[in-house]
Structure 1
Amino acid sequence: MNGKTLLVEIGTEELPPKILRNLAKLFLDYVTIELKLFRLSYEKVFWFASPRRLAIKVINLQIQQLDRIIEKRGPILANAFDLNGDMTKETKNWITNNNIISSKIETLRNIKGEWLFVRKIVKGQKTELLIPIIIEKTLKKISAPKLMRWGDNNIKFIRPIHTITIIFGKKLISSIILGIKSKRVIYGHRFMGDSKITLVDADQYPEIILERGKVIADYEKRKEIIRTNAKLIASKLGGIVDLSNELLDEVNSLVEWPVVFAANFNKEFLGIPNELLVHIIKNKQKYFPIYDNKGILLPRFIFVSNIECDNSKQIIIGNEKVLHSRLVDAKFFFDIDKKNRLSDNLHLLDKIIFHNKLGSLQDKTKRIINLSRWIASKIGADINHSMRASLLSKCDLITNIVCEFAEMQGIIGMYYARYDGEIEDVSIALSQQYKPCFSGDMIPSTLIGCTLSISDKIDTMVGMFGINQFPKRSKDPLALRRAAFGVLRIIIEMNLPLNLKHMAQEAVNIYKGILINDNTVNDLIDFMFARLQKLYLENGFSLDVFQAVLSVRPLYPVDFDLRMKALSHFLSLDESTELIIVNKRVNNFLTKSNNTIINNEINLSLLKQKEEIELANYISKLTTKLKPYFTQGLYKEALIELTMLKTTIDNFFDKVTINTNDFAVYLNRLTLLMKIKILFLEVADISILKIRKKTDFIKKG
């Protein structure tokens, strides 16, 4: 391919470190999409990102679009000319609107008719003329939760833009994009190397900015330098560094020239709860903690500097001082809090408003206690311990530690409960009450923890639905969607026998007349089913499988899950396709029966043909046999048994005429069909399922 290298760098103020990688990938994705739309081919594309730049480098980008042929079909030949052979108004409008030269018009003939027709060759444009359009469109597509405006105009971007560099081969593509004129100048490191670098050739990037500007523009290369050096340093210290990918990405997005150091903190701070200590090290200071081979936290940490200097000891001392100050404050707050029992904070909860229409945290605590009593009795959790955990659940929100480090709520409550001598199950439940906190997070591991977590979440959802405050699009201030996901995951994964309707009704009753929405229970159930759908789709189940189960509305999430897995397994059976077709056929017959009132039972005396007698007998036999299957939730086994109906049903449809003139016989045969449908409806509505190919099985459960 006869192409050139394209380099585009957007120089900005410091970009948000938590989303820098995503921004860079968006830049890459949108540019490649636009290149495709503009019919510009290339060999390969690379992306670069550092705190003050986003860049892409396109290798062997063609220098001009290929010519293309546009075919335009005009009026039907019979309508194209009048009786005198002159063009009709329709033809003239077609020529004018499409800038057609009359001499180029042809006639298109096929079996459908004849039309006026023209082929136009559209010359391809030079790539250098299209690049500014592509880049501007791309930058306008890139978005973030908050955009910034700078200068006297209304142009917005993630951060103010200082430079735009667009080099195609060796040529500067001169343009003004988002109010910034493109230049050859790119900026190096703030404190090292050359401040300004003139880019002569696109192929010089990123090597020139590395050598002269002391900037490693390659995001993944910087990340690997940090990872490798951090592991090496930790190993020399006899430890293992905690390099969580999320923090590693964030730290990488804060530096352009990473230099990795190890430092220490005072051993006395190891007396602070481990979670709090690690939280300060990782989340507040963006440092990496070090553990020994047994997983015990060491009084050491690793940090990454953005500059090389001769006196590295001063950099280490400076970071140690900063962390020391943080830990001194944390230890002070922790020691102050320990002077009071957790239960001493109960009376203070009345002063904190949970919601202006739903009362204080003390009101919420009372509701959680009552709901926990009910849930614990249903799932076999210790009722007294569950109520005690519920009583103490919000007390740590008053503590100094939570006021300073909000992320410690629940976790610090566990430590204070232990200091107070609370039962261990109660203490652990306090730390698990908010779990799962995010997608993929662990659920509570104890029944008391499950009880407290579910009670808290259900109380919030019922309360908000009860005052008609539902999540709207991206607005979900109390994270009701996440709460619903959490409740469903806990119930299903812990195999808890909880009924959504009964639980919602119990929560509504506990509110005692505060709620104004009479449909709260049904609204909550519909909301939970919507979350359940999303949960199953994310786990690879098909939408039609979910809808088939939803049609029978199982109110026990565990029961719902058993049906989903059973139905997915059913689809892998050879007989499934034909039984789906049978169910669709049965459903059609019943739908077309014009609301005929069908009998509850089959009238054996009206069975005339051998095939319908055999079907009736088989249905009776299966109904009796499958009753314990359905009671015990053995849906997979039940569906396997139902596949045995296939031959008998086939014989029935082949030999028996349902729409007979004898109304009593007709009604009896409809009853037969209804009995078939009812048997399958004990699991799901099979007629909803799509017909699948043999290679398109869902392999779940």
Structure 2
Amino acid sequence: MHFLVELGTEELPPTALKTLSHAFTQGIQDGLTQKNLGFDSVESYATPRRLAVSVTGLADKTPQESVKIFGPPAQVAFKDGAPTKAAEAFARKNGIALEALQTGMDGKVEKLVYETTAGGEATVDLLADLVAQSLANLPIAKRMRWGASRTEFVRPVHWLVMLADDKVLPAEILGLTSGNETRGHRFHYNQPITLKHANQYAAALAETGHVVASFSERQAMIVKQVNTAADKLGGTAVIDADLLDEVTALVEYPVALAGNFENEFLNVPSEALISSMKEHQKYFHVVDNDGELLPHFITIANIVSQDPAQVIDGNERVIRPRLSDAKFFFETDKQTSLEARREKLKTVVFQAKLGTIYDKTERIGKLATLIAARLGENEATVKRAAELCKSDLVSTMVYEFTDLQGIAGYHYANNDGEDAEVAQAMVEQYMPKFAGDDLPATATGTIIALADRLDTITGIFGIGQKPTGSKDPFALRRASVGALRLMVEKKLDLDLRDLINAAADSFTALPNAQVVDDVLAYMLERFRAWYEEASIPAEVFMAVSAKQLSNPLDINNRVYAVAEFSKLAEAQALAAANKRVSNILAKLDSAPASEVDAALLTDGAEKQLADALASYAAQARPLLAEANYTDALKVLAGLRATVDTFFDDVMVMTDDMAVRNNRLALLQSLRDLFLEVADISLLAVK
């Protein structure tokens, strides 16, 4: 069977169309699976005016299977050979005569049993409910009603197609009666199109209705047309994935048209022009071979115009005032320096309990200067960047184009004659913006980005507004991961606890007295997901976490070293030995001696272990001093044979207390040596 369902609507929200289509298709597919209905393939269709799903090779019936229904125990169902009320109830419930009652074993208990078959339901009788349920479960944030109807959906609905091969499946969904009539393009063929068979859907819409029903096919057409238009302009189109999805959701038949704007606008920061074209007009911009913006744009029309020049002219007339606004904002903003704008920051609240944006820049300055001193970077440059880093927030350009924060600051800093690294830090303070985003290129930008994030996290935790599972209004998770990436990937040898302490000290008073411990624990916990994504076993991270370190770069180095060690053939045996030593030492009332007494070493195996420990420690310690944990652990892996022999041949808890304590001291030195990197006992397979 070939099944088709199409819901016709008024124009659906373009940013939600792809999600709605996927959810509708998945809902139907899941419903078929739950009913054990087999099918060959499922294809989704989505345009601004329709959501549709096509299922080929759909089974006509649900599969039949034998079912055993057990009732009360036989000893309860019968008394003196006669059926009891329990037996009568079971027979009545299953529609069988008392004399037909049978018993069977349910595990070890004999019970009444009724054997029957389930399934065999006609698929056509199930599809209406399945479609209705899928539509009801769509991820619609806010549903609407229209007219006098109480029906609710994301947009008013107008028609419903439900076909099984060439037959209409009768159904009432969202107030619509199903049929076999779809509709064509709103402008080119706004008429009913009768579908004679479910397999005609896409072809009938394309050939008669001037509609490309497939989202992916429409998107491919747009990419091809935009690239062709850009080639004719002598440039390359920049096709943003989100914009492409949105434009694909705005049209039913795409036609790419190229337009131009005046060269004088190229004096405005290209980001502002691109934002105007992209966000407001949904245009694709064009760049040259060097990535510089060209005075062209490409728009996607929803019609095949008889006079495309008029359509292009209309788009050029629409974009010109927007670009003129951007130019005006830029020229006006340049008349006031970033330093002069700082005073306005005193009126902009960062957070009610944490002061203004001006206060935040002061705190960033203190922390950033401290970091610069620790890293040996230019403190004056960093302090200047911190002072100016938020000044563009009160510029007209950023007020109108919020996504230009930092970018506008970069251009204004250059206009003010600020140091090149200070200007670059205006942009880099927001990096990384998301997972996988680039990191700052300059030391100043890196330090400002780190200080800004630590200030925010510490302040918000300090007033008791920790993120919860569903709420993270200040994006502290992203800020934490960003800070860790900065410290690890930029190889900043910094102690995070010290920095959080310094950040906390910059606030007048924070109600949360445990803020430093809370922030440190929260941030380091972000490492867990980080290493999961890198396919590093959780026990590796736990082995390093046991050291309770607070230098992210050092933690990362140790984690990767332990991960490499865990792959060695000797790793499990040494991990098990360390776990055994840990268990023995944990049961002691007092710690063993700090040094091993060579005179008390009587057994050959313990002498060998003592000699081996001295030898391998001498080789490993220079490597540990250089934080070369990977090679240090490779060296220590050589202890495996000696450690195994020791545990095979030596009784640690001997009756001779002096010898016992000396052997415990020997084991303590073994454990301490590995603990200089991590607690590898946690690697032991349980």
User: Structure 1 length as normaliser, TM-score?
Assistant: 0.92
Matched position secondary structure for 2:2: strand
Counterpart residue number, 2:324: 328
Q: What residue in structure 2 maps to residue 520 of structure 1?
A: 515
Confirm or deny: 8 A CA contact 2:566 2:683 kept in the other structure. Answer: no
Checking the alignment, whether the CA contact within 8 Å between 2:23 and 2:139 is kept in structure 1 is: no
Q: How does 1:471-482 map to 2 (within 5 A)?
A: 471-482=467-478
Aligned length in residues: 685
Instruction: Give the 3-state SS of the residue equivalent to 2:57 in structure 1.
Output: strand
Aligned to 2:281: 285
More off after superposition, 136-145 vs 287-296: 136-145
Unaligned stretches of 5+ residues in structure 1: 693-701
Alignment of 1:499-518 (within 5 A): 499-513=495-509, 515-518=510-513
Alignment partner of 1:460 out of 452, 456, 469: 456
> Which residue is equivalent to 1:540?
535
Specify the alignment match of 2:46 in structure 1.
49
What is the aligned partner in structure 1 of residue 650 from structure 2? 656
| Aligned Cα root-mean-square deviation (Å) | 2.6
Match of 2:580 among 566, 579, 585: 585
1:616-669, Cα deviation, whole Å (9 max, x unpaired): 332333334323322322111122112111111211222223344445544444
- Tell me how far apart the structure 2 counterparts of residues 162 and 142 of structure 1 sit (CA, whole Å): 18
Other-structure match for 1:642? 636
Cα distance change on mapping 1:141 and 1:663 into 2, 3 Å: farther
- How many angstroms apart in 2 are the aligned matches of 1:120 and 1:567? 59
- Give the secondary-structure state (helix, strand or coil) at the position aligned to 1:205: helix
Partner of 1:58: 55
Q: Following the alignment from structure 2 to structure 1, what is the Cα–Cα distance between the partners of residues 334 and 32?
A: 62
User: Could you tell me how far apart the structure 2 residues matched to 1:132 and 1:180 are?
Assistant: 12
For the residue of structure 1 that corresponds to 2:16, the secondary structure is helix
> Pick from 604, 610, 625: which aligns with 1:610?
604
Moved more, 226-235 or 68-77: 68-77
1:444 to 440, 443, 448: 440
Question: Cα distance, 1:586 vs. partner?
Answer: 3.4
Distance 1:185 1:580, change over 3 A: farther
AA aligned opposite 1:558: L
Bigger CA drift: 677-686 or 147-156?
A: 147-156
Q: 1:563 aligns with which of 537, 558, 561?
A: 558
1:416 maps to 2:421:
no
Return the letter of the residue paired with 2:625: T
Deviation (angstroms), 1:497: 1.0
Residue 378 (structure 2) pairs with residue 382 (structure 1) = yes
Q: 2:291 aligns with which of 263, 286, 295?
A: 295
1:272 lines up with 2:268 in the alignment: yes
CA contact (8 A) 1:143 1:157 kept: no
Contact 2:621 2:632 survives alignment (8 Å): no
Match of 2:24 among 27, 35, 40: 27
Name the aligned partner's letter for residue 20 of structure 2: L
SS at match of 2:651: coil
8 A contact 2:205–2:212 mirrored in 1: yes
1:626 alignment partner, one of 612, 620, 631: 620
The 3-state SS of whatever aligns with 2:512 is coil
Partner residue of 2:219? 223
- Superposed displacement of residue 209, structure 1: 1.6
How far is 1:33 from its partner? 1.9
Q: 2:490 aligns with which of 489, 494, 499?
A: 494
Decide which moves more: 89-98 or 370-379.
89-98
Match of 1:697 in 2: none
- Equivalent runs, 1:688-699 vs 2, <5 Å: 688-689=682-683, 691=685
**1:333-358 CA distance string (max 9 Å, x none):** 11111112221111111111111111
Alignment of 1:657-676 (within 5 A): 657-676=651-670
Note if contact 1:47-1:55 (Cα within 8 Å) is conserved in structure 2. yes
Q: Which amino acid in 1 is paired with 2:201?
A: Y
Distance in 2 (CA, whole Å) between partners of 1:629 and 1:440 is: 32
How far off its partner does 1:99 sit?
6.4
What is the distance in 1 between the residues matched to 2:601 and 2:467? Answer: 55
CA contact under 8 A between 2:78 and 2:87: conserved in structure 1?
A: no
Shift of 1:419: 0.8
Query: Unpaired runs of 5+ in structure 2?
Result: none
Kindly indicate whether the alpha-carbon contact (under 8 Å) linking 2:460 and 2:466 is maintained by their aligned counterparts in 1: yes
Secondary structure of the residue aligned to 2:556 is helix
Q: Which runs of structure 2 are paired with 1:215-364 in the superposition (5 Å)?
A: 215-364=211-360
**SS in structure 1 at match of 2:470:** coil
Cα distance change of structure 1 residues 588 and 153 upon mapping to structure 2, 3 Å threshold: farther
Q: Deviations over 1:128-147 (max 9, x none)?
A: 12112222232233214444
Cα 1:48–1:690 shift into 2, 3 Å: farther
> Which residue of the other structure, out of 392, 401, 422, is the alignment partner of 1:405?
401
> C-alpha distance in 2, partners of 1:161/1:671?
80
* Distance across 2 between alignment mates of 1:387 and 1:425: 12
Distance 2:329 2:149 in 1: 47
**Alpha carbons 1:104, 1:119 under 8 Å: kept:** no
Q: Find the aligned partners of 2:505 and 2:544 in 1 and give their Cα distance.
A: 29
Matched, 1:429 2:408: no
Whether the 8 Å contact between 1:381 and 1:451 is mirrored in structure 2 is: no
Tell me if the contact between 1:373 and 1:387 (Cα under 8 Å) persists in the aligned partners.
Answer: yes
Indicate conservation of the 8 Å contact 1:194/1:212, yes or no: no
TM-score (norm: length of structure 2): 0.93
> Bigger shift: 444-453 or 433-442?
433-442
- Shift in Å, 1:72: 4.3
Write the distance in 2 (CA, Å) between the matches of 1:594 and 1:95: 68
Match of 2:524?
529
